[in-house]
Structure 1
Amino acid sequence: MAESGGSITKYKVLQIQNRYNVSASDLAEQIIQGLPEERFEVTTAFLRGAPGEGEPRSRASRSVYFGFSKAATKGLRLRVLWVLYRHCRRERYDAVIAHRFKPINAFMLLNFLLRIPACIGVLHGLGEYDRRYRRWELHWLLKGCWRFVGVSRAVYEDLSSEQGANLPAEHVRRINNAIDIDHAESLQHPGNEARRRLGLPDDVFVFGTIGRLVPVKGHVHLLQAFASVAPQAPQAHLAIIGEGRGRDELEALIDLHGLHGRVHLLGAKDDALQYVRAFDAFVMPSLSEGLPLALLEGMSGHLPVVGSDIDSLRPILQDCGGRVFAVGKPEELAKQLSALLALSPAERRCEGDTAYAYLRRAHGIEDFRRQYRELVEELVVRH
C-alpha cells in the first residue's frame, strides 16, 4: 500500500491486458476512471505491444509495456511468468485486474507466491473454460481472493453454470459492458456529415455495421442477406466499417452478386462510433460474441438494431426492442432487413429511441465504474 496525505491509504492496483489497446471506448480505461486517484494508484500493463507515435496513452498514473512477442505468451510462458513475478514483488500491489484468459491464468499461478489480496479476472467472451484441462486448472488454482466478472448475462452464465466453468456463486459477478453514452454522442457526426466523411451517398437507406472482417463476425451472411433484398430495394445500401482477413471473400461476393457501388467496405476507422449516424439501421450478424460494444454504440446513435440470436445478443435485443434472426441464416436476416425498409421514418425513429432508452437504463458508464470500484474496495478492505 502507498501512503498519501498521512492518514489516507492509497491502494496500489495493477490492471493487465494481453495486447496494447487504448481507445475512446476501451472499458479498461473506464475502470481506471472509476478508481479515484486519491484512493487508488493504478498501473496499467500490456504483455504485448505499445503505442506508436500519436496513439493514445492510458489515463493510469503509470503504464508498463512488457514487450513480449506473441510466441512468448504461448505454452508454458515461463519468461512471462518470471518477469511478472519480479515486477509484482517489487511493486507490492494490493489488487490486480486481469483481462481475458492468458493474464488471468498467469496471475492465478503467480499468486501462490505473490499473495495479492484482491484478484479480479474479467472474461469478455464465451467458452474460455470449455477445455477440460482449463476447467480443472481453474478450480485447482482458485483461492478466496479471486472474483471473476462476466461482461454480459451470457458470459456470467458461462462462468457459473455446470456446462461452463462451474465456478462457485461467491466467486462470480456480472458487470455489464457499458459505454460512455454522453461521450459517444459528443463524438458522433450528424448523419449527412458522417456520410460525407465515409463517402456514402446522401439519398439512400444505409444498413451499417462495425466489426473486424473475420468469419466470426458473420459479414458473409449479412452480405448474402442484403443480396437477396437489394433487387427489390434499389434505394438500399450496405456499409461495413472494419478490416481483416475476410475482405477478399467479401469482395468476391460483391462481384458475384453485382453489388459494386451498393456495398461499401470502408476499412478500419479510429473511434468508429463517430460514424454511426451515417446508418439508418445497425446490424450485428455475429456468430459468437461476449458483449459487443459495437451494438451498444449503434444504440447510442438512436438506431433500430438487428442481431443474431446468439446467447450474448438475444437478451439485449429482446430487452431493447430490437430485431432477432436465427444465427447463420441469411434468409432470416433478409426478412428483418425487408421489414425495416418497410417502416416509415417515424416508425424507425421510434425503434431507435426505444433502443437508446434501454441503453441508458442498462449499460451506462457511471454504473459500470461504480460496480468495479465497489468490487475492488470489497476485496481489499476485507483483507
Structure 2
Amino acid sequence: MAKTLKVLQLQTRYNAADTNSDLGEQILQGLPAERFEVVNAYLEGRPADDAVDPPGRRQVFFEFSEKDMSGLRRKVQARLLAFCREERFDVVLLHRFKAVNLFMHLNKKLRIARCIGVSHGFGEYDRFYRRWQARRLIDECWRFVGVSPAVSDYLVSLRCGFTNANTVAITNALDIDLAESLQLSREQARQALALPSDALIVGAIGRLVPIKGHVHLIRAFSALSGEYSNVHLAIIGGGREEANLSALVAELGLQTRVHLCGTRPDAMRYVKGFDVFVMPSLQEGLGLALLEGMCGRLPVLGSDIPAMRPLLDGARGRTFAPGDVPALTEQLRACLADSDETRAEHGERAYQYLRREHDINDFRNKYRALLEGDRPVQGAPT
C-alpha cells in the first residue's frame, strides 16, 4: 500500500463567499482520505462561526494581521516554521504570492521535498526584487502551476527560476454538477437580488476593484440604455470601488437600471437570474466567473485578454478590447438585438463547451499527480 502523504495547503485569506468555487477546495475534493492526510490552512481571516473540519482534513486559521504580513514577517515565519516542524509535512501546496514567497524562504530550513506554488494571475513578480528573490530561492524542491497557459507563460518568460521543466499550466475548472445543484431558478435568483422579474438582465460577477473593468461596463450600458428601456445591469461583488461605481451610476442617472448587488456567498447560485453574462476584466489569471456564466447556459461576452481569449473562442462568445467602451457597447448591442431563441442557442453552446473542455475530474487528477510526484511535470505551453 502506498504511503499516506501529509499535505499542507496554505492560502492567504479565508473567504466565506467562495467556498464552493474556491480553487483550493476543488483540489482537495479530489484527494482521497486514505491516501492524503490534509491540513488546509489560511494566513489571514477565519469563519464567522466555529469552523467544522471536513472529513479527512483539518482546518487551521493563523489569523495573522495585515501588520504581521508586511515587512520582514518575522512573527509569521517563526510560527510557520515551528508549525511545519511539528507537523512534518511531505508536500506543501501554496496559493498566491504571499504564501509562495514565505515558503521560498522557510524551505531553506525545512527542506520539504515537494513545494508547489500556484500563481492565480499576472504581475506577482513584476517587481525586480521579487524576481531576484525567486532566482535565489527556487531550487529542486519547487514546482509551479499557472491557472491558465497564459499565466504559466508569464512565469517562464520572467527568466528568474521558473522554467519549462518546473512550471505547468493546469487550467481552472468548475464542478458543474455541484454548481447546477446550487443554482436558484430564474425567479428565485431575481427575487433574491431584488431584480425586476420582467426585464432583460445583463449580469456580471466580480470583485469591485479597478482591474475588473466594471466602470467600462457601466459606461457601455449607459451608451445603449436609451435604446433598450427594458434592459437592466446587475453586478454581484463587493470591494473598494463600490462607492466610486455608485457615484458613476448616479452621475449617469441610472440608479433604477444598474444594480450593485454586493457580495453574495457562492455567487454562481444566481446566474440563472441573468440573460447575458459579461466579463469586462482588464486582466485575469483565468476568469472563473466566465465559466460560472457558461454554467448558467448564458451567452457570454468578455475582454480579449490572453487568459480569457481561449475560453471565449471555445464558447464562441463575443469579445472586445479591454477597456474599450465603444467596442464593448457594440458587442453588447449585438447580443441584445438577438432574439430570445438565439441567445438561448448561444448559451447552450457555451454550456456544452464548458462540459467538454473544463472537466473537474481532469483538473483534480492533474493536481493529485503533481502532489504525488509520480510523473514528470510537463513543460508550460509556449
TM-score, shorter chain, exceeding 0.5: yes
Separation in 1, partners of 2:168, 2:67: 32
Give the structure 1 partner of residue 198 of structure 2: 203
2:24 to 6, 20, 28: 28
Write the letter of the residue equivalent to 1:185.
Answer: E
**Which AA in structure 2 matches 1:137?**
Q
Alpha-carbon spacing, 1:325–1:167, altered in 2? closer, same or farther (3 Å): same
CA displacement 1:137-175 (0-9 Å, x = unmatched): 11211111211000012111111125x756211110111
Q: 2:243 aligns with which of 235, 239, 248?
A: 248
Equivalent residue for 1:169, pick from 158, 164, 182: 164
Q: Identity of counterpart residues, as a percentage? A: 52
Deviation at 1:102, TM superposition (A): 1.1
Give the superposition deviation at 1:381.
11
Measure, in 1, the Cα distance between the counterparts of 2:144 and 2:353: 26
Which of residues 341, 347, 355 is equivalent to 2:336? 341
Out of 115, 118, 122, the residue aligned to residue 118 of structure 2 is 122
- Aligned 1:92-241 pairs, distance under 5 A: 92-162=88-158, 167-241=162-236
Tell me: CA distance 1:44–1:283, structure 2 relative to 1, closer, same or farther (3 Å). Answer: same
Partner of 1:351: 346
1:361, CA displacement in angstroms? 2.1
Partner SS, residue 45 of structure 1: strand
Provide the C-alpha distance between the structure 1 equivalents of 2:312 and 2:27, rounded to a whole number of angstroms. Answer: 25
Deviation per residue, 1:272-293 (Å, 9 max, x gap): 1111011001010111211122
CA contact (8 A) 2:142 2:166 kept: yes
Letter in 2 for 1:132: F
Cα deviation for residue 54 of structure 1 reads: 6.9
Q: Residues 54, 343 of structure 1: CA spacing in aligned structure 2 closer, same or farther, 3 A cutoff?
A: farther
Between the aligned partners of 1:188 and 1:220, the Cα distance in structure 2 is 27
Q: Which residue of 2 aligns with 1:362?
A: 357
| 2:5 is the counterpart of 1:11 | yes
* Structure 2 portions without partners, runs of 5+: 378-382
Q: Name the residue aligned to 1:313.
A: 308
Which of 273, 282, 291 pairs up with 1:287? 282
Q: Is residue 50 from structure 1 mapped to residue 46 from structure 2 by the alignment?
A: yes
Q: Tell me, yes or no, if the aligned pair for 2:224 and 2:329 is still in contact at 8 Å.
A: yes
The Cα offsets for residues 71-112 of structure 1, whole Å up to 9 and x where unpaired, read as: 111121111111111111111110000101111111111111
Question: Which amino acid letter does the alignment assign opposite residue 219 of structure 1?
Answer: H
Shift of 1:369: 0.7
Aligned counterparts of 1:14 and 1:267: Cα–Cα separation in 2: 32
Distance in structure 1 (CA, Å) of the matches to 2:55 and 2:249: 42
Q: Distance in 2 between matches of 1:56 and 1:227?
A: 45
- Structure 1: segments with no counterpart, 5+ residues: 1-6
Q: Would the aligned equivalents of 2:117 and 2:144 in 1 still touch at CA under 8 Å?
A: yes
TM-superposed CA distance for 1:271, in Å, is 1.0
Judged with a 3 Å threshold, the aligned counterparts in structure 2 of structure 1 residues 56 and 130 are, in CA distance, closer, same or farther, namely farther
Closer/same/farther in 2, CA of residues 369 and 89 from structure 1, 3 Å limit: same
- Residues 1:74 and 2:70 are matched in the alignment: yes
Give the AA of the match of 1:227.
S
2:82 equivalent in structure 1: 86
Inter-partner Cα distance in structure 1 for 2:160 and 2:304: 22
Letter in 2 for 1:288: Q
Distance 1:209 1:95, change over 3 A: same
SS in 1 for 2:47: coil
TM-score between both structures, scaled by the size of structure 2: 0.94
Residue equivalent to 2:321? 326
Do structure 1's residue 267 and structure 2's residue 248 form an aligned pair?
no
- CA-based RMSD of the aligned residues comes to 1.9
If asked which structure has higher relative contact order (CA below 8 Å, sep 6+), I would say 2
Deviations 1:317-350 (A, max 9, x none): 1121111111111111110110001111121111
Q: 1:84 to 1:381 in 2, by over 3 A?
A: farther
- AA aligned to 1:260 is Q
Secondary structure of 1:239's aligned partner:
strand
2:103 & 2:118 partners in 1: Cα distance? Answer: 12
Task: Name the TM-score, length of structure 1 as normaliser.
Answer: 0.94
Question: What CA distance in whole angstroms lies between the structure 2 residues aligned with 1:381 and 1:290?
Answer: 24
Give distance in 1, aligned partners of 2:29 and 2:242.
36
Contact 1:117-1:380 within 8 A present in 2 as well: no
